[in-house]
Structure 1
Amino acid sequence: MRYGTKDVLTGVSFAARSGEVLVLLGPNGAGKTTIVEILEGFRMRSSGEVAVLGTDPAKADEAWRARVGVVLQSWRDHGKWRVRELLGHLGGYYRRYPSPGKQRPWPVDDLLEVVGLTAAADTRLTKLSGGQRRRLDVAIGIVGRPELLFLDEPTVGFDPEARREFHDLVHRLTDVDDTTILLTTHDLDEAEKLADRILILAGGRIIADGSADELSRRVAGASEIRWTLNGQRFVHSAENPTPYVRELLTQHGDAIADLEVRRNNLEDTYMRLVHDFEGGRQ
């Protein structure tokens, strides 16, 4: 993607596998939104080849769009709609594009239960809480039972319980419906919990592609081992902590207290990869 003489995306190349959760991470301005909008067919690319469900989204028709779900950061719609009425109305557009393997659209009452809005089914949109509104956004995105679902910062404004329920919904969509999901988020803990694969974008290109564990191993530094012995606190670094901890317990047994091994998590990995990339460009 190029704006004037500036390349915003350069040589971005990846493929999503059926039924996986692919999480796109990157600092602000890295090009995440641009990639997603190109894949959704909302933005024309400057060059390159793109295929989504076997179709170039720039040339896609309504039948293709019926196979794709989109959850934006916010929707604008008529506040006087009631939840059940709106979902029933939107679902009606999908009946003309049946799916050979799925019931399309979702039955409204089933969908309300899946997203946790059964109790609010007859509530006007203007009366929904922030969390309920976000659940409705998700329901709108999946009402057509899509084969591919784009989620842009889907849990912004969720409380911890709603976030946990949303994570359960994501797993249901992939495990039961075999839905492929491309998700953008700034919540690295959420990414680590949900992602089958993670793409890290920086400087308009993908600098890492793999599971959280694979990426952590790629940049793994020494693990930090902490423990208390005879009232004194100790800290030790080891590339492979398992043999060290085993020997420590063999020597001191029950005298060891507060033993803790801290390995790199996704946040450590992400910060290291982005920092190294940006440092290499300077």
Structure 2
Amino acid sequence: TVFLTTHFMDEAQALADRLAIIADGMIVATGSADELIGAGSTNTRIRFRLPETSQLPDTFEARRDISAWELETDTPTRTLHELTEWALGTETELLDLEVTRRSLEDVYLQLTAEAAEP
């Protein structure tokens, strides 16, 4: 057994078979990178921009930051289908569409933020 400490999640994911995430001196999660990534509330992020004249319906429960909309989902195929169906039906262009899996860095930030809450 070798213990590796790092703040670089890509390094931890590449080198370790099992991981432990520590927050405030306590182990808050253990498992393989895939187990930790899969254990979260959502595994996939869909990010896109809309033309300035378009507004996304509330049914998508998306967050909007300064430049883009973001959806988090455990059912990316279904969500992407619903999103593209809406876009086609309203003749709205989905700009800069990205579909990404949640990263180990996302898991780390979520778990350490939860541990810091009173």
Same fold (TM over 0.5): yes
Checking the alignment, whether the CA contact within 8 Å between 1:229 and 1:257 is kept in structure 2 is yes
CA shift for structure 1 position 273: 1.0
Task: After superposition, give the CA deviation of every residue in 1:87-141 in whole Å (9 maximum; x if it has no partner).
Answer: xxxxxxxxxxxxxxxxxxxxxxxxxxxxxxxxxxxxxxxxxxxxxxxxxxxxxxx
Mark the runs of 5 or more structure 2 residues left unpaired by the alignment.
55-66
Within a 5 Å distance, the mapping from 1:192-211 to structure 2 comes to 192-211=13-32
Q: What is the distance in 2 between the residues matched to 1:276 and 1:236?
A: 21
What amino acid does structure 2 have at the position aligned with 1:262? T
The answer on 1:190 being equivalent to 2:11 is yes
Task: After superposition, give the CA deviation of every residue in 1:196-222 in whole Å (9 maximum; x if it has no partner).
Answer: 211112343322111222112222347
Residue aligning to 1:237: 71
Within a 5 Å distance, the mapping from 1:35-184 to structure 2 comes to 180-184=1-5
Checking the alignment, whether the CA contact within 8 Å between 2:45 and 2:102 is kept in structure 1 is no
Aligned residues between the structures? 98
**SS in structure 1 of the partner of residue 102 of structure 2:** coil
Q: Report the structure number with the largest CA radius of gyration.
A: 1
Checking the alignment, whether the CA contact within 8 Å between 1:238 and 1:244 is kept in structure 2 is no
**SS in structure 2 of the partner of residue 183 of structure 1:** coil
Residue aligning to 1:101: none
Distance 1:246 1:186, change over 3 A: same
Q: What is the distance in 2 between the residues matched to 1:203 and 1:243?
A: 38
Residue aligning to 2:102: 264
Which of 103, 112, 118 aligns to 1:274? It is: 112
Which structure has more relative contact order (CA 8 Å, sep 6+)? It is: 2
Greater share of strand residues, 1 or 2? 2
Scaled by the length of structure 1, what TM-score is found? Answer: 0.29
Distance 1:200 1:228, change over 3 A: closer
CA shift for structure 1 position 223: 3.9
Residue aligning to 1:7: none
What amino acid does structure 2 have at the position aligned with 1:207? V
Mark the runs of 5 or more structure 1 residues left unpaired by the alignment.
1-179
Scaled by the length of structure 2, what TM-score is found? Answer: 0.60
Q: What is the distance in 2 between the residues matched to 1:234 and 1:242?
A: 20
